[in-house]
Structure 1
Amino acid sequence: MALFQEMEEKKLDHNIVFYNILMYSMCNAEELTTAREIFNSLLAKGLQPDVRTFTIMIKGFCKEGLINEATELLEKMDGNHFSPDDRTYNTIIKGLLQQNETTKAMELIKIMVDKGFSANATTASMLVDLLSANLGDKTLQELLHC
């Protein structure tokens, strides 16, 4: 953060990759508030968030159990003409599954598959574990019939 502040004070040119690294680091250090402040300041700095920027913040929200904020950001992302990629979908689906939001996760899996993406190994493993633990769940049974 000290390096970041010094760079800002000297008005050194930054790009979105620099801010993505910074936000990623803040989220990993459980400094979500700082990451959110940086994210919210991007437009004022003349920088446009990219898919990776949104995915980093979605992961940060999921890590803190803030699923509503993560899904709102996904909707905002889609509304701002940024198409989520497979990493974005897998990130939020894992967050939803960790919070037992099975129905929402299944909805996103269907959207992800319809857009030509697939679950990564971690997401697939979580689904298998969920299926074996909850075979009576109607939503999961519908997924098996697809």
Structure 2
Amino acid sequence: MVQGGLVADVSSYTILMNGFCRTKMVDTGIDLFQEMRQKNLVPNARTYNSFIYGLFKLGRMSAVQDLVYEMHESGHAPNRVTYTILLDASCKYGNLEQGIALFRLMVAQRIQPNLCTYNILIDGLCKGSKLNDAREIFQYLLINGYQLDGYSYIIMINGLCKKASCWNSGICLYNCCLRCIIGNDSVMNFDFQLDNLDLTNSVKVSRNIVVEAFDFMVLPMKIFEAH
């Protein structure tokens, strides 16, 4: 590109950084980031997000914190992608309370979580022994018309089946997946490889029946409330 007389801009560097960071070549991405600075090119939110993602995947959490601070100082407010990456990092590295705080901050700033954000949060809550909170959010998504994907159901079923007292709820949810249709008659294919179950089926899910299958009260969504 450079040899052809074209000048690399922020978008070009961001695309390259994103590729390097997603293939765990983060040090090469760092070199590009420094090169951008030397050329007085100002990183945008996508540039920072690509870099944050790469550092998180390598477990460089202190560097992630420094970069988020720099992002903020440079005038780029964290967006949904940023918060989702940070939430994933918090849950993956055992800091669930920080993850919940980030989610609440995200909602307080009126940044709309997407399904990926919710899946990460539900998974973190299930693994962090906050199954009731996970169930509340899962039911909230169903009631409010979110088009959940196969991963959403796998997370919830896995979380339920890992707790002996909720085993029946997990099996009930799975059985609903087997016999029903979701939303607009689309069919969802599940390939379950659960710790406590060995299930492989093409299934059809009904949102209404799945909601009923939980057989628990609609509780206030405390996870959304800032403390």
Query: How many pairs are equivalent?
Result: 128
Equivalent residue for 2:173, pick from 108, 113, 116: 108
Equivalent residue for 2:117, pick from 50, 53, 56: 53
Matches within 5 A, 1:59-74: 59-74=123-138
**Is the 8 Å Cα contact of residues 65 and 99 (structure 1) preserved in structure 2?**
no
Query: Higher helix proportion, which one?
Result: 1
Q: Deviations over 1:103-143 (max 9, x none)?
A: 110222133342333443423x63239xxxxxxxxxxxxxx
Residue of structure 2 in register with 1:126 after alignment: 196
- AA aligned opposite 2:105: S
Q: 1:5 to 1:112 in 2, by over 3 A?
A: farther
Of the two, which has the highest radius of gyration?
2
**Is the 8 Å Cα contact of residues 55 and 88 (structure 1) preserved in structure 2?**
yes
Residue of structure 1 in register with 2:81 after alignment: 17
**Is the 8 Å Cα contact of residues 161 and 171 (structure 2) preserved in structure 1?**
no
Give the unaligned 5+ runs of structure 2: 1-64, 200-227
- AA aligned opposite 1:85: D
Query: In structure 2, how many angstroms separate the alpha carbons of the residues matched to 1:5 and 1:79?
Result: 37
Query: In structure 1, how many angstroms separate the alpha carbons of the residues matched to 2:97 and 2:121?
Result: 11
Query: In structure 1, how many angstroms separate the alpha carbons of the residues matched to 2:145 and 2:105?
Result: 19
Q: Deviations over 1:58-102 (max 9, x none)?
A: 000111121111101111222333232111110111111111221
**Is the 8 Å Cα contact of residues 154 and 192 (structure 2) preserved in structure 1?**
no
Identity of aligned residues (%): 25
Q: TM-score, normalised by structure 2?
A: 0.51
Name the Cα RMSD after superposition: 2.1
Matches within 5 A, 1:75-94: 75-94=139-158
Q: 1:5 to 1:111 in 2, by over 3 A?
A: farther
